[in-house]
Amino acid sequence: MAKVRHESEWYPLEPGETVLDGLLRQGVRVPHACRAGACQSCLMRATSGAVPEAAQVGLKDTLRARGYFLACTCRPQEGTALEVAGASELRVPARVVDLESLSADVFAVRLEVETPLDYRAGQYVTVVRADGLARSYSLASLPREGRLELHVRLVPGGAMSGWFAREVRHGDQVHVQGPAGDCFYVPGQPEAPLLLAGTGTGLAPLYGILRDALEAGHTGPIHLFHGAKDPGGLYLVDALRAMAASHPNLHYRPVVLAGGGGEVEEGALEAKVLTCLPKRPVGWRAFLCGNPEAVLSLRKKLFLAGFSLKDIHADAFLPSVPRAGPVAGAA
């Protein structure tokens, strides 16, 4: 039997059980969200004992070298005694300085951090509440703006989104961990066509990537598609139309499954995206964010259409998953 020591207490793990599941099962609070090794909110550090390589997949070399691992994917071998600590040293204090409604169920949360965060627009951070509740959000802001901007969708029963929407006040404190993710603009090919496609609050990182590219002087065509079920699911429409009007190389196309009309197209986002591509999309770069099924499907279609996999940058928004029960909505 493997066992884990956390805060001076030893906890046994059942055969094949992850460190996260074992600790949660025995009442230990561990920040977590997706439970799929993607959001990195469950990062822990091994102070003694062997960590399986699989538990460090996707982490920066600097984190791996310091013994950090993902508790949700860490399954210690039988007989392993693993001593662990939390990731508090990776978190910086932040305070809520602004809340702005962007649509009926999406709002912007703006945070000021005590220590400047070295990030690129489009990456994501994990917000950790005082009680350990953690959720990951993509950054719509640019580093020069000084504040972190997150786009949060209010989910029925959502623990973090409901807290932000109904309980948070100006000045309330949280902690921020990160950044992480490879979905961001890299200067160097200003003439390359860019494809930005996302659903729901997948617009947040795309909004940051778009502004970053334009500020860097990107001259190639930029095609931005934002998909929703109906017009009520769209947001920042006026701001993006204004940007398109002032940047001839930006083509903004809002798409809905039903209720389209005028400048809002109706149909499947994937089909609309594929119609804008040339027969051989050589040199194109794509950024895909939002619903995981939509992101994975479009990624496959772009590859089959001629995109190189290295030029497709994708961040699927995985939902938060409760300790015992079915998949919940991102909260």
Taking only the tens place, the pLDDT of each residue in 153-197 is 999 999 999 999 999 999 999 999 999 888 999 999 999 999 999
Q: What percent of the chain has pLDDT over 90?
A: 85
Q: What percent of the chain has pLDDT over 70?
A: 95
Confidence of residue 327 (pLDDT cuts 50, 70, 90): very low
pLDDT in tens, 208-246: 999 999 999 999 999 999 999 999 999 999 999 999 999
pTM, two decimals, is 0.87
* Residue owning tokens 């991102």: 330
pLDDT at 323: 47
- Checking if the pLDDT of 7 tops 50, the result is yes
For 205-260, give the DSSP string: HHHHHHHHHHHTT--S-EEEEEEESSGGG--SHHHHHHHHHH-TTEEEEEEESSS-
Chain mean pLDDT for the chain: 92
- Checking if the pLDDT of 10 tops 90, the result is yes
Mean pLDDT calculated for residue range 77-87: 93
- Checking if the pLDDT of 287 tops 80, the result is yes
pLDDT at 182: 86
pLDDT at 325: 34
Pair 44, 69: CB distance under 8 Å? yes
- What residues are paired with 251 via a beta bridge? 223
Structure tokens at 170: 């100006």
Mean pLDDT calculated for residue range 110-134: 93
What are the DSSP E strand ranges found in the chain? Answer: 3-6, 9-12, 43-48, 68-70, 81-85, 91-101, 106-113, 124-128, 134-138, 148-153, 173-180, 194-199, 222-228, 250-256, 265-266, 285-290, 312-316
